[in-house]
Amino acid sequence: MKTRKLKSLVKKARNELSWMVLEEQASGPLRIFSDSKTRTHTIFLPSAPLEGGPDPELHYLHELGHALLCEQVHPFFSNGFPIAGLDEKQIPAVTPALSAASDWFVGHWMMEFCHDVAIEELKKEYEATAEMMGKGETPSVDKFFVAVLIIAQSIKYLQISVECSGFLDAAVQAFLAVPPEKPSVRKIEDLINSLLSLGAPYRCRHMNDQGQDVMEFYRVAEK
């Protein structure tokens, strides 16, 4: 993908933001923190190029998708909304499901915003995922949810027939059961809970805390 085209898409998406945009230098990959209270987006720009990571412009575009959905739909689609009911040690149990669920909707935003670019990237991601799954390695929880997300997207957007069974099929169907078109709080909450039901002893529900929407997690009985 030509860098010039990607830079143009990044500029276009950034111009669609209506909240104030701040920039800070930071270590690690580029990320955007959206604060619905102050109606600001803080873009943490990497102080140096990262080697071996995703295409920086594609990653930037993806992050802008989160920021735009945060503004246009709800802060639950951002990368930094408030949660309750969990301590720091418990958060890793729900993080993979949270990330994959919001990425399902951001992926659809990219399909609408830059269809050809998104399709080309998805084809590459599917090939890499199929190769990884073909090796029979047991992925981490993070990598598993990313792989399942890509498989579900490939079925939906590339019309690829993927043979899945058991736990993998249940995870793929959890995504496909929630249409990413017209995102809403109800949809992302339903998807998160469907993904959590695959193995985590938590469920979520949105609540209002002093005028701010919060995603509250609560424990359920393990089967």
Residues 77 and 92 in one domain: no
The pLDDT assigned to 211 comes to: 81
Q: Which of 120, 183, 195 is nearest to 154 (CA)?
A: 120
**Pair (57, 93) in one structural domain:** no
- Whether residues 118 and 18 share a domain: the answer is no
Pair 135, 167 in one domain: yes
Q: CA–CA separation, 139 vs 146, rounded Å?
A: 10
Strands 40-46 and 20-26: parallel
- The pLDDT > 70 percentage for the chain reads 95
pLDDT of 30 reads 93
On the question of pLDDT at 54 being above 80, the answer is: no
191 and 117 assigned to the same domain: yes
Q: Mind listing the pLDDT tens digit for each residue in 141-158?
A: 889 999 999 999 999 999
59 and 91 co-located in one domain: no
Same domain for 7 and 98:
no
The least confident of 55-59, 75-79, 161-165 is 161-165
pLDDT at 65 over 60: yes
Per-residue pLDDT reduced to its tens digit, 13-47 = 999 999 999 999 988 889 999 999 999 999 999 87
Q: Which whole number is the average pLDDT over 60-84?
A: 94
What's residue 123's pLDDT?
96
For the question of whether the overall pTM of this predicted structure is more than 0.85, the answer is yes
Q: Are residues 139 and 175 in the same domain?
A: yes
Whether residues 25 and 118 fall in one domain: no
For residue 135, the model assigns a pLDDT of: 82
Q: 162-219 pLDDT, tens per residue?
A: 888 888 899 999 999 999 999 999 999 999 999 999 988 999 999 988 888 899 999 9
As for how many domains the chain has, the answer is: 2
In whole numbers, what is the pLDDT of the chain averaged over residues? 91
User: How many residues would you count in the chain?
Assistant: 223
193 and 114 part of one domain: yes
By residue range, what is the domain housing residue 182?
Answer: 82-223
State which of 55, 81, 107 marks the end of a domain: 81
Domain end (from 62, 81, 100): 81
Q: Does one domain contain both 118 and 176?
A: yes
Out of 31, 59, 81, a domain closes at: 81
pLDDT value for 149 = 97
Do residue 94 and residue 201 come from a single domain? yes
The residue-averaged pLDDT of 120-145 equals: 88
